[in-house]
Amino acid sequence: MSSQEQGAYHKFRVAHADAPSGCPVDHEFTTFDREYLKNPYDRLARIRAEHPVFYSEKLGYLVVTRMEDVQEIFRDHEQFSSENVQDPVFPICANASAVLGVEDFNPVAVMSNRQQPDHTRIKKYTSAAFSGRRMKLLEPYIKKRSQELIDAMLDAGGPVDFVSAFGHPLPGQIIFRFLGFDESDDAQLIRWTANRMAFTWGKPNDSEQVEIAENMLRYWRYCRRHVAHRVDHRADDLTSELLAAHDADPEQLTYREVESIIYGLSFAGHEIVSNFMSNALLCLLPRRDDWSAISKDPTLIANALEEVLRFESPQTSWRRITRKESSIGGIHIPVGTPVFLSLAAANRQPELFHSPNSFDIKRENARKHISFGLGIHFCLGARLARMEAAIALETLATRIPDLRLVDDQDLSYSANITFRGPEALMVDW
């Protein structure tokens, strides 16, 4: 199956539609300018108040900012299809398309962009594989790696970039162990999976696209070799569990779907968790009372992390495309309209969250955020992400209680429409 066929994991089509008639048009809104990347919240609050549903001319998307509208769209997967969530926002150049056009680059859509009834068929197996038992098996590894990365930070001495020293390697290594990849391959795997975010959700230039595409191909081939090896060498890992499900009923979970799940999870479970951890430090370290409270009482961490997901989410948006004529917020939407759901705007809606622009680790309804989505595509890794971040934060807060941000940093954010976290975050102690 080539990448452009129906059912492929990566489709290189770029959805575009004109403004639905009667819909307010915003000629300026884009997620790519420096001001928005640094702080999307002020602009989103203004827009949500002025025109909660509007067409962004620069993005070519209908933008939805209110929680009730975002939830309605997530719930209605028939009308609002997720088939476009892995499509690039801007066209991929011919050379990069050619790299991925080879015959053996053939991962299939398995979860986020897979439609019914297949989505439910496949998710039965992936949900089982993300069971409490497998999480428990992973917990000691997460604790051990967190301690080791902190040892290395302390040995090197501050100031240090938290992202490269801890926030980026830890979730990568965790997902690779979860899938059953060999530890000796970690460095190379991290290189191959780098910048996937930019490829689909950003604006990389042509040569960057080619480099990312070459690494995606290398990584897909690695996943295929790994699954093939596990056929005869089973272990207690996710790959073996999915292969056992395939053996039991090859039509219910195909071999290609097993390969594609392994391929997709390394991205779904890596950079977003890095951003989650960095955003948690950005929220907590400057608020010394909060940091000292969680250092002394780690039971406060779970709710503090929910508040991070509400206040400074690592995922600020997600997408859908209309399959049927529909209407949202009183706007009539034709078939084929790409929709940009602003999770960041919904998470700070004043009618739902008291003083939405204040960060409050004890906020009672912090968990009502929409950062993991809703409905049939609700994030498969929510439990894992919460566990990783909680262990990381507890280990950091108890081992380095005087951890702090280096003053006057000019933070930079990767230019993309969805994922948000600082590219580097200098800390000291």
**Residue 19 DSSP label:** P
- Is residue 276 within the footprint of ligand HEM (CB under 6 A)? yes
Q: What are phi and psi of 219, to 5 degrees?
A: -65, -40
| Shortest separation between residue 188's beta carbon and ligand HEM, angstroms | 20
Figure out which of the listed residues 375, 398, 401, 412 binds ligand HEM, where binding follows CB under 6 A. Answer: 375
Q: Which stretch binds ligand HEM (CB under 6 A): 36-44, 57-65, 296-304, 378-386?
A: 378-386
Q: Which two tokens stand for residue 256?
A: 């290609």
Could you tell me if 175 and 266 are in contact, meaning their C-beta atoms sit under 8 angstroms apart? yes
**Residue 96 or 281 with smaller CB distance to ligand HEM:** 281
- Is residue 108 within the footprint of ligand HEM (CB under 6 A)? no
Would you call 116 exposed, middle or buried from its count of C-beta atoms within 10 A (0-12, 13-18, 19+)? exposed
**Residue 9 or 29 with smaller CB distance to ligand HEM:** 9
Find where tokens 């999915």 sit: 242
Figure out which of the listed residues 48, 66, 123, 256 binds ligand HEM, where binding follows CB under 6 A. Answer: 123
Q: Which stretch binds ligand HEM (CB under 6 A): 31-39, 207-215, 374-382, 406-414?
A: 374-382
**Residue 18 DSSP label:** P
- Binding pattern to ligand HEM, positions 50-79, x when CB under 6 A? ------------------------x-----
| Shortest separation between residue 327's beta carbon and ligand HEM, angstroms | 20
**Residue 133 or 332 with smaller CB distance to ligand HEM:** 133
- Binding pattern to ligand HEM, positions 138-167, x when CB under 6 A? ------------------------------
Longest dimension (CA), the chain: 61
- Binding pattern to ligand HEM, positions 290-319, x when CB under 6 A? ------------------------xx--x-
* One-character DSSP codes across 235-284: -SSHHHHHHHHHHH-TTTS-HHHHHHHHHHHHHHTTHHHHHHHHHHHHHH
- Is residue 137 within the footprint of ligand HEM (CB under 6 A)? no
The rounded distance, in Å, linking the Cα atoms of 137 and 382 is 17
Q: Residue count at the site for ligand HEM (CB under 6 A)?
A: 27
| Shortest separation between residue 268's beta carbon and ligand HEM, angstroms | 4
Could you tell me if 332 and 22 are in contact, meaning their C-beta atoms sit under 8 angstroms apart? yes
- Is residue 371 within the footprint of ligand HEM (CB under 6 A)? yes
CA distances from 13 to 103, 108, 109, 217 (A): 18, 15, 15, 19
Q: What are phi and psi of 31, to 5 degrees?
A: -95, 5
Could you tell me if 89 and 200 are in contact, meaning their C-beta atoms sit under 8 angstroms apart? yes
For strand 317-322 and strand 338-342, is the pairing parallel, antiparallel, or unpaired?
A: antiparallel
**Residue 135 or 406 with smaller CB distance to ligand HEM:** 135
Q: What are phi and psi of 127, to 5 degrees?
A: -65, -40
Q: Which stretch binds ligand HEM (CB under 6 A): 200-208, 266-274, 288-296, 332-340?
A: 266-274
The rounded distance, in Å, linking the Cα atoms of 163 and 153 is 11
N- to C-terminal Cα separation, the chain: 53
The residue sitting closest to ligand HEM, measured at its beta carbon, is 381
For strand 404-405 and strand 426-428, is the pairing parallel, antiparallel, or unpaired?
A: antiparallel
Contacts of 381 (CB under 8 A, 6+ apart): 130, 265, 268, 269
| Shortest separation between residue 334's beta carbon and ligand HEM, angstroms | 22
Q: Which two tokens stand for residue 68?
A: 């009730």
- Is residue 82 within the footprint of ligand HEM (CB under 6 A)? yes
- Is residue 112 within the footprint of ligand HEM (CB under 6 A)? yes
**Residue 262 or 294 with smaller CB distance to ligand HEM:** 262
- Is residue 106 within the footprint of ligand HEM (CB under 6 A)? no
| Shortest separation between residue 77's beta carbon and ligand HEM, angstroms | 8
| Shortest separation between residue 372's beta carbon and ligand HEM, angstroms | 5
Could you tell me if 273 and 171 are in contact, meaning their C-beta atoms sit under 8 angstroms apart? yes
Tell me which residues in 318-337 interact with ligand HEM (CB under 6 A). Answer: 318
**Residue 265 or 284 with smaller CB distance to ligand HEM:** 265
Q: Which residues bind ligand HEM (CB under 6 A)?
A: 74, 82, 111-112, 123, 175, 265, 268-269, 272-273, 276, 314-315, 318, 371-375, 377-381, 384-385
